[in-house]
Structure 1
Amino acid sequence: MNIEMIPVLLAGLLSLAFAGYLVRYILRQDQGSDKVREIASAIQEGARAFLQDEFRALVIVTVIMVAIFAAALEPRPWVGLSYLVGTLTSALAGYLGMSIAVRANGRTATAATSSWAQALRIAFSGGAVMGFCVVGLGLLGLSIIVMIFDDPDVYSHVWLGYAVGASIVALFLRVGGGIFTKSADVGADLVGKVEAGIPEDDPRNPAVIADNVGDNVGDIAGMGSDLFESYVSAIVAAMVLGAAVGVLGPDKGISFPLLLGAVGVVAAIIGTFFVRAPEAGGSFEEQTAKARSTMNRGVYASNILMIVGGFLLVWFYLSSDEIGVFYAMLAGLACGFLIGLSTEYFTSERGPVKGIVEASQTGAGTNVIEGLSVGMFSTVVPIVLVAAATLIAYETAGLFGIAIAAEGMLITLGMLLAIDCYGPIADNAAGIAEMGGLGKEVRARTEALDSVGNTTAAIGKGFAISSAALAALAWLATFFAVVEEETGKAIVVSLTEPKVIVGLLIGAMLSFLFSALAMRAVSSGAVAVVSEVRRQFKEIPGLMDGTGRADYATCVDITTRRALKGMIVPGLLVIIVPLIIGFSLGLEALAGFLVGSLATGFLLAILMANSGGAWDNAKKYIEAGHLGGKGSDAHKAAVIGDTVGDPFKDTAGPSLNILIKLVGKVAVIFVPIFVLVV
């Protein structure tokens, strides 16, 4: 099997080399005026400070977890060391991606002074660095571990340790980053727009740099670590199931998911060359349409290439008898693509968003009601699609097919993450254009790019949530397979068993408790930011008239400390609750718990992400000059709706991705101990 890992290793290295090529391209671009450089540097410093504090806390947790895994889980100490490798690769992907993103934002704003197309290309390239670092490091780490620990009967738990390590980093960056970004954003909006009446991204607002830092830590480092976890989780689940259920035989069952990932890297790299934008003039709507169609070409090209490559891999590496595995991959790929279209419909400037815009004319209350209804409606299509993909995958390739469908949804992740991470870079560029005084034309160009970025970010969140749900389903299947392997008999989960119902109810409740804690952390952080901004407006001479200078660093420090504090309890719950259920109520109750957390977590995450995205774009639509534009009553109502939606779409909703995946991993990796104790 080591020979079969060589293409996977090469694909991982190719992905990292392509990311390096993009880094070189970005760093060659003009950094802009001294003012633009100063603003970009402040954002870089804030992002670096946040990551340093997060990683300090992560080191403590990692040392504890490595010690537990190395001492308690067989084969000792390799599960602990594998966990450490998973942690390091995920953290490195997040660090590299965000480090380049905060260098691409100022360059994007500067490019927009002369070329709309060049600005789009820089922002997209910045996002692609994160995308290809994620898939490259993910494949590289897994292939090396499989080459060293290649006996599934002995070492399957070593592979699981790698996936859990990636999950802990995602927990820190997704939950902590989400709390940071929305504490800053909500605080900046409440005092800046609502109280002081100054525009978004105004340099007089002391929280404006923290807000821009938050875009990077939440939507780049957070999203990257989230999808790194989903990507690795789907591959590891497929490897474990491939070895356990024996659909392809143990060797091919392990190597095929990794080889499929290698094909996905090549398809995604080729797809990026289709993202070539013509110069765009015309109205705001025409510019956004051109940007959207430009990036869609890359997605279409990557998907078509992946379909061809996946078919050839199945046909020649497996056999024509195993064509069901290809259908499972195709079901996941199609599911992800269609969910993207559904999310775009519910969150872009057309369709239901127009209803929120109209509702804003009668006040904030109707804006919020309409936005919530949009989110509720938006759950239907993803649920139906994931259900259909699950059934197709199971019917064509069994439990192994479910894991392959989850991987299929993520198979062109390099391209998909590039488009998603483009959004916060464009958002930062729009802010820098405003703060740097680059003029109305540049601001209009960056606003158009930002508006598309809001939609791509919303699509990315919907995609991340749905892929997390499929990955969680794969881990549920893995749980049943590992239990059967450890006990010698299949686990029977009966809804007439009270313990199963208790587990299901606790799992369903956990999603709401987790969301409540995340939302409360944002509220607490926003209150602290509001107090600090008010203090600075009051105490710093000349701040409001532009002659004084705001103390940006204090707001960054406040939000960082609040983020670290706010993520402690939610993070502990995700790890401790499944352990309590497993040790106290048994494996059947734990299975019910996993089902309950998946069902409510998936629905709640979609509702929150799409409501928040729709509220955000309704506000942007009004700010583009409709219904009176900025400062109108409709705009004020839309700002309130967007303020409610911010922690929905950027904190609580995306954080549920981590919950529904991590509880499954904790359950699976501790199955041998549950069997011994219970």
Structure 2
Amino acid sequence: MDLLIPVIISCAVLAVLYSLHASRSILAANPGTPEMQAIGATIQQGAQTYLNRQYKTIGIAGTFIALLLGYFLSPFIAAGFIIGALLSGLAGYVGMNVSVRANGRTAEAARTGLAPALTVAFKAGAITGMLVVGLGLLGIVTYYSYLINSNIDQKLLLESLVSLSFGASLISIFARLGGGIFTKGADVGADLVGKIELGIPEDDLRNPAVIADMIGDNVGDCAGMAADLFETYVVTIVASMLLAAIYFMGPLQHLLMLYPLVISAVCIIGSLLGTFFVRLRGDNKVMKALYKGFLATLIISAILVYGATRWIFREIKTLGFLDILPFTEKNIMVCALTGLIIPALLFLITEYYTSLAYRPVKSIAAASVPGHATNIIQGLAISMEATALPLIIISVGLIIAYLNASLFGVAITATTMLAIAGIVIALDVFGPVTDNAGGIAAMAKFPAEARHITEILDAVGNTTKAITKGYAIASASLASLILFTAFGEDLAYYFPHIKVDFSLMDPFVLIGLFLGGLLPYLFGAMGMKAVSRAGRAVVIEVRRQFKEIKGLLTGTHMPDYSKVVDLLTRTALREMIAPALLPLLAPLILYGLIHTAVGQSQAFTALGAMLMGTTLTGLLLAISMTSGGAAWDNAKKYIEAGHYGGKGSEAHKAAVTGDTVGDPYKDTVGPAINPMIKITTIVAILLLAILARY
């Protein structure tokens, strides 16, 4: 057992070392022509400027929260918050810096063929993926080791770990919202004026918003997704450790608290080995090549998890606790394998709803022929339909895990789902890298063959982004269930005299469910309106430049890109604050109002019900938005490929409108609901700790 922590740390360090080594490989690739390098440098500078200002804004809020946690709770809890926030921010920042350098190199590789371009784009994603899981696991295991050696009270130890996940969640929600508002404000403005009003190509250097759009892809999808899945990864592991601490005692407790970390460690090895299976064969099917890497990761990880589980149970037998366990080794393995099967099924379903090859996307494209309204109606219908199968799969997985090992089995299922996050993030970052590569290729006036290659990669990238967002929100639902269990246990521990029964006959349960269910919708409305305001501002600025800069439309003069970038930076940083505060303040306000008006017992009842309501509607809304938005986007690409009149047709204009609606769905609000759900629950758990002390 003494060797477990060094082994876990070694696997985490290996992931970080892989990222550093692969980064050198990316930087060694051909960056392209001087024109491409100039475009790439502009994107890189804009992305760094935005992230610097965003993290400065988040840093002010984070410092204030850390001081409150240190004052009202403990310096250990404040330190955990700071560690989680710093590592989440670092993962996003480094991920962005890799992606902006890989964009032009992917485009240049497309000159020589599909396989070289795929290799560069996927390796860029793998760097971010391995960095996220490496830093996440390293942060948890090292801080856990430090807390154990500090000989602090176990409750304080667990609260400090929860606070670490809180820090990661706070960075994630700001990064998702700010980056999403920036990128979609630029995208909406660029499309509405450039493609619909003026009829110029999507990635045309004459359009003042195109550079901002490409900057947004890197700060929203790359940095934002890295922070998002870092947060989900950390929260799920910590939640599983909490359940082990709740249900077990003594040496058995420590061993089973380490078990989620062991699963995450061996799956890092599985993900690393899986990246080497992403190779294009003679059929030139990009999605098939990516799926081979994902499937190899699942198989290798399953073997390694089996070996790790056998080892853990041998240790349990040696300690003499095997007979008192409420589950067997076989039960736990079923839970772990369920955690590997669920993502595979979710991947297939999301591909069906978002790929150009299947009915949903084709039906939206066909609905574009009559006009804009029918495109919107069909897109909304598909987004609603796309929630059914994922919810059924999650429910079945939940039942299997619970029947085998109760809530601890659910925790192991969720942990195993997130343990393969390295390869999943690689698939996600692949999307914005190929999107930017296509834009650079268009701006640099690549030959048609090379442009066709970037278009193929971009269409696949849209699907992989939707797949990983669905994966993130599905795992978030299981993590929220585990956190809710921790909330219930903390409530019983800190307030044993208060008995809470979440019966639907209790009006305070219904109040909590209603208000909790409302939160994701209110949060979504705030995010969508923020994108709308940002988009309107960009439209006005782009129109002004085309009107006032003589020769801009003819190409004899260049636009002022910095004006749009600065406008969006200020707008995104201002607009992200209000929605991000909603999950932070809602639990506190609900508790305070009901406690003051009625009593503490009713306040805790409503607060717990709020957490359930937020998780349920948040899960449905997020899946609907991410899948529906990607389907709208690929319906546009399906038409641009030559169907229903192709580019410039009336159907294409309707599809652009649908894509404009789908953009904030899939890239701003939908992904941001993921950390929003968990922040609400974590704030409730920390509130219990504060109330117990004062």
Class of the TM-score when normalised by the shorter of the 2 chains: over 0.9
Distance in structure 1 (CA, Å) of the matches to 2:331 and 2:155: 26
Distance in structure 2 (CA, Å) of the matches to 1:394 and 1:442: 51
Residue identity opposite 1:297 in structure 2? K
For 2:248, which of 246, 249, 255 is the aligned residue?
Answer: 246
Q: CA deviation at 1:481?
A: 2.1
Q: CA deviation at 1:492?
A: 2.5
Asked if the contact 1:314/1:323 (under 8 Å) is kept, the reply is no
Q: TM-score, normalised by structure 1?
A: 0.96
For 2:197, which of 174, 195, 198 is the aligned residue?
Answer: 195
Map 1:340-359 to 2 at 5 A. 340-349=347-356, 350-359=358-367
Distance in structure 1 (CA, Å) of the matches to 2:224 and 2:409: 28
For 1:475, which of 477, 483, 496 is the aligned residue?
Answer: 483
Q: CA deviation at 1:5?
A: 1.1
Q: Deviations over 1:285-315 (max 9, x none)?
A: xx5xx10000000000000111111112112
Tell me the equivalent position of 1:542. Answer: 551
Q: How many residues align?
A: 667
Q: Equivalent pairs: percent with the same residue?
A: 44
Residue identity opposite 2:83 in structure 1? V
Distance in structure 2 (CA, Å) of the matches to 1:37 and 1:420: 24
Tell me the equivalent position of 1:185. Answer: 187
Q: TM-score, normalised by structure 2?
A: 0.94
> Which stretch of structure 1 is more off in the superposition, 452-461 or 316-325?
316-325
Distance in structure 2 (CA, Å) of the matches to 1:2 and 1:139: 18
- Residues 590 and 676 (structure 1), Cα distance of their counterparts in 2 relative to 1, 3 Å cut: farther
What SS is found at the alignment partner of 2:369? helix
Does the alignment pair 1:645 with 2:666? no
What SS is found at the alignment partner of 2:368? helix
Map 1:509-548 to 2 at 5 A. 509-548=518-557
Asked if the contact 2:267/2:420 (under 8 Å) is kept, the reply is yes
Tell me the equivalent position of 1:18. Answer: 18
Task: Give 5+ residue unaligned stretches, structure 2.
Answer: 315-321, 323-327, 595-602
Map 1:100-499 to 2 at 5 A. 100-150=98-148, 152-246=154-248, 249-278=252-281, 287=284, 290-319=285-314, 321-349=328-356, 350-488=358-496, 491-499=500-508
Map 1:561-576 to 2 at 5 A. 561-576=570-585
Tell me the equivalent position of 1:284. Answer: none
Asked if the contact 1:587/1:674 (under 8 Å) is kept, the reply is no
Q: CA deviation at 1:581?
A: 2.2
Q: CA deviation at 1:668?
A: 1.3
Aligned alpha-carbon RMSD (Å): 1.5
Asked if the contact 1:333/1:410 (under 8 Å) is kept, the reply is no
Residue identity opposite 1:91 in structure 2? G
Distance in structure 2 (CA, Å) of the matches to 1:243 and 1:584: 32
Tell me the equivalent position of 1:283. Answer: none
Residue identity opposite 2:633 in structure 1? D
Task: Give 5+ residue unaligned stretches, structure 1.
Answer: 281-286
Asked if the contact 2:113/2:453 (under 8 Å) is kept, the reply is no
Tell me the equivalent position of 2:636. Answer: 619
Q: CA deviation at 1:579?
A: 1.4
Q: CA deviation at 1:250?
A: 1.2
Q: CA deviation at 1:378?
A: 0.8
Q: CA deviation at 1:71?
A: 0.9
Asked if the contact 2:113/2:450 (under 8 Å) is kept, the reply is no
Residue identity opposite 2:90 in structure 1? L
Q: CA deviation at 1:491?
A: 4.1
Distance in structure 2 (CA, Å) of the matches to 1:384 and 1:327: 18
Q: CA deviation at 1:674?
A: 3.5
Q: CA deviation at 1:279?
A: 6.4
Asked if the contact 1:111/1:119 (under 8 Å) is kept, the reply is yes
Q: Deviations over 1:631-671 (max 9, x none)?
A: 01111111111111111111111111121111011111221
Distance in structure 1 (CA, Å) of the matches to 2:156 and 2:438: 53
Residue identity opposite 1:294 in structure 2? A
Q: Deviations over 1:598-642 (max 9, x none)?
A: 111111111111111111001001101111110011111111111
Q: CA deviation at 1:54?
A: 0.4
What SS is found at the alignment partner of 1:219? helix
Residue identity opposite 1:609 in structure 2? T
Q: Deviations over 1:231-290 (max 9, x none)?
A: 00000000111011118931112111111110110000000000112467xxxxxx5xx1
Asked if the contact 1:115/1:279 (under 8 Å) is kept, the reply is no
What SS is found at the alignment partner of 1:542? coil
Asked if the contact 1:71/1:77 (under 8 Å) is kept, the reply is yes
Asked if the contact 1:315/1:323 (under 8 Å) is kept, the reply is no
Distance in structure 1 (CA, Å) of the matches to 2:507 and 2:292: 52
Does the alignment pair 1:78 with 2:76? yes
Tell me the equivalent position of 2:319. Answer: none
Q: Deviations over 1:112-158 (max 9, x none)?
A: 11122111100001111110110000011111101111263441111
Does the alignment pair 1:605 with 2:607? no
> Which stretch of structure 1 is more off in the superposition, 239-248 or 198-207?
239-248
Residue identity opposite 1:125 in structure 2? K
